[in-house]
Structure 1
Amino acid sequence: MSSTHDKALTGEFVSSLAQIAAEDWNRIAGTDYPFLRHDFLYGLELAACTTAETGWQPCHLLLRRDEELLALMPLYLKSHSYGEYVFDWSWADAWRQRGLAYYPKLLSAIPFTPATGPRLCAAQDADAELCWSAALDAVQQLAKEREISSWHLLFPEEAVSQRLLDAGLHRRTATQFHWFNEGFNTFDDFLGTFNSRKRKSLKRERRRVEEQGLKLVTLEGSEIREEHWDRFYHFYQTTYAKRSGHGGYLSREFFLNTAAGMGSQVVMVIAYLDDQAVAGALYFRSSKTLFGRYWGCVHEFDALHFEACYYQGIEYCIANGLSRFDPGAQGEHKIQRGFRPITTCSNHWIADPELSAAVGDFTRREAGHNTQYKQSAEGFLPFKQQGGA
């Protein structure tokens, strides 16, 4: 007689997180990684940020044995490639040139959030290998039934990415810049690892913020009131409009109703000039990592972006014993400020065999370039050489 653990898992796709209770989702996904919390992802839906109209139709995967929920994975049906931070526009062009449709595609990712973390989440007593096998089968079957071109899983943990590579999915790599806490007690301890010239440069930047009369305040959880959220949303929207011509992916409702409800996992830094708030940076946190996410300002000030988005984050990590600070994608300017280059991953399943082979060749060549880039970036870190000043 077979045990219940021998029974096959069945996949179910839900078009809204309203179809699963928050306690059931969070029991499997946990709440420490803030971006997989039910209230975070469902909040994006409720604020009309992730809908069919915005090109982010939820299609989340649930795996059950009989009626018991054993695993889940965020999944979206995408009609474009915006808000992903793993750029595949050239792939869409290749599909078009062959007279094929690249969109819609399937995407397992946290919307608008290039932060590495769990993707397929399983119950503690579940067989991870079995869950991954069932997930791959379910997603590929859905793609074939709906004639969907591809499935993309972005920013998984490295072991997961390797598992998917071994299962036949292509892997892409890229570079981000993260800060690591080496047991520092103060910001000056961190600066003590810099060579003399870079240390003076960073101190000069921080001093320049003070000389302009700017004062920065860090708020957590319930300390962030509605007026702070309103002001921050204005900063966010204004800055996005200047940079990209639109007001950003996130709505005022998301900040006021969802981010504001995530308690101590939310940290806001506000810059004041003569008691007037002029800029802000928003972070999320887990028990070990600080995630820098959004920034905005109404006026440009010398070095304020570096202070609000990087140095205040480092100070927060040191004060709260966090081991890592992930400030987001891109930004070579982070290197000279003590952020080390790290490798991020994504995995890709392509339905068409010929195009899959072409994508595989592309990812292998790209990986070599990224390895060289990361090694080159490490040479620009500001830290002392062995025995240096």
Structure 2
Amino acid sequence: MTTTEWGWLLYCLLITTISFIHLLRIDYWWVRIWDFPHTQLAALAAIGLSGWLFFVHDYRWPHWLAPAGVTAAMLYQAWLFWPYTPFHRRQVIRQRYPKGSQPVKDDPNSLLLMTANVLMTNTQCPKVLALAREHKPDLIMLLETNETWKRQLEPLEADYPYRILCPLENTYGMLFYSKLPFKDHELRFLVEDDIPSIRVDLELRSGHILHFYGVHPQPPSPTEHYRSTERDAELVLVGREARKQTGPVLVAGDLNDVAWSHTTRLFQRISGLLDPRVGRGLYSTFHAEYFFLRWPLDHVFVSHHFRLRTLRRLPACGSDHFPILLGLTYNPDPKRADDIPEPEGDDLEEAREIVEKSREGY
């Protein structure tokens, strides 16, 4: 083989390997990090297949493994992306209103949420305030907020009398603002002593109680945490709680995990919650500055009690994340209860092991 052919062979084998390595149930960051860039890996696999077909003409054993591998990688990526295309059945159906009605004003079961990881070092707070004033959400959850952000966001407090404010200097601070009254609320540190999450029971204008969870666990990365176990455990714990609730549930935040990962899909099956992006699009929120390194990192999951009014990725506000705006209507349909994700195979055992391992701390 020529040097060019050897180069394409090694390239194809590398792309194939990192396309599937995340299937190993190893929680170290250097494996889990490959959960994220599957859109990019699909493009790299397509380049590898094109390069092989154009430059290489040797299909003898074992050389044919290169085009076979990148073709399998592309098909696998397509399987991962398929749920987030308009051709897939939607998990959360759209709320319809009669013509001429004013849905938000007239419907006491309506709810509008804005959530954003604002990036602690970001100095463009006025842009965040402008988005809040433009869209007037009922709930605002902002992540990576410290004391500086808390002070600069004080103008929100006049319109949001109910608040949970936990500014931190470790990039895991949370600020939660609500126009809806709290019936119960709790600031928690479920897995790690310096990583907060929130649990709030809110009263909709119709009087129904909404169970809200806000989360922002640590990602597996060389600069954050060497393994994914603590992140996965927090999602499992929240998922278990969500499953036990009989009323409407909403879970939101920067999960530091992508929509198609094994952990996120496990969370859905444990929690029974639905993803409004399914059947609509990826709504990739990170990285806001680099379109070629972008994936869906910020999530909102809802129970079957809700129908979707709006789902939008808002303009960038100086952070490395785009904000998300979600409009819901509490409109339960008993038939939709049949669509609740259920645990499969050894899901419950895997969830138990994840939580136990996080508590052992090794």
Structure number having the greater helix percentage: 1
Structure number having the greater strand percentage: 1
Q: With structure 2 as the length reference, what TM-score do the two structures score? A: 0.29
Q: With structure 1 as the length reference, what TM-score do the two structures score? A: 0.27
